[in-house]
Amino acid sequence: MRENGRVGVIGAGSWGTTLAHLLASKDYRVDLWVRETDLCRIIAERHENPDYLAGFRVSENITPHNDLEPVVRGHDLLFMVVPSHVYRQVAERMARLIQPGTVVVNASKGIENETLLTMSGIWKSILPNAGEIEVLCLSGPSFAVEVIKELPSAVTLAGENMQTLCEVQRVASTSNFRVYTSLDRIGVELAGALKNVIALAAGACDGLGLGHNTRAALITRGLAEIARLGVRMGANPFTFSGLSGIGDLVLTCTGDLSRNRTVGVQLGQGRKIKDILGEMRMVAEGVKTARSAYFLARRMDVEMPITERVYQVLYEDKDPRDAVRELMERDLKPELDNIPHCIPR
């Protein structure tokens, strides 16, 4: 990867804009794809993103574009930061522009509803030839507004080639943004997607006024079922005790800046999901991921009772109080099963 070269960032929401600013502040020339025409003009003229990061000035090294081509073509490093439900659509548009050998860093968190693929899986289905591009995953406890404020944060970068990981690690790290590497891409991807589902449940518990004991139990048992699915799909169990696992899970389940937790709080207070989403500008990824996770767990024959109840609350109009009662009244069992890696059931 070239020093002080050009980097493409696809997606100008809060996280995409923050990553673009972080890279631009290191003197990389950043081309940023902005879907909205008016927002693209505002970023170009005023160097701020009032829709997603009001009050923050972003680096003048960022060049916004409405057209995807100048952001993708000729760049050997791309950061993909679009909502998971449009990920395939955007990736397919990029496929005809992307050059062999390009490194794509996926910073989106989700599982595709129709195929139950992770974001790297979507790339593999679009560009099946091995080696055509290299896909990494960036995930961890990182609220965008705190990163752009330069508050100390740490995340995990996962992929299959340690040399590439170390190169991108160097590109993305700053004195306030520490990047660790991992060879467990599937584990990091699953942890980043599924923690949003558990955050919906944690928020619902808070909305119901169930207290700190309940939230702690919910987070712990949520981690158990995330790890159970991850190990079934080939992940390293220790990934789930790291930044992209318990780190991101705790942040998203407890932080007031968490969109998924906020949605969950309102569900617990009795509001309907369609009304909540109708008032939101930003995407709460856990709502769509809950559907994917529910069907993925069934496909993999993995028990995920919290995820199942979240799906039922969102898509079958189950009362959150009934969901809590059902979870508490399930058959009693040991916390740890005598299975490989001692992953809890």
Cβ contacts of residue 298 below 8 Å, gap of 6+? none
CA–CA dist 314, 286 (Å, integer)? 10
Handedness of CA 195, 8, 181, 185 (dihedral sign): positive
Q: Which two tokens stand for residue 264?
A: 């969950």
Catalytic residues: 195
Q: Which two tokens stand for residue 211?
A: 């207290």
Three-state DSSP at 187 gives: helix
Cβ contacts of residue 324 below 8 Å, gap of 6+? 205, 208, 210, 214
CA–CA dist 16, 39 (Å, integer)? 13
CA–CA dist 310, 321 (Å, integer)? 12
Q: Which two tokens stand for residue 184?
A: 């467990």
Residue burial 69-103, b: 16+ Cβ < 10 Å; e: rest:
ebbbeebebbbbbbbbbebbebbeebeebbeeebb
Number of C-beta neighbours around residue 212 at 10 A: 10
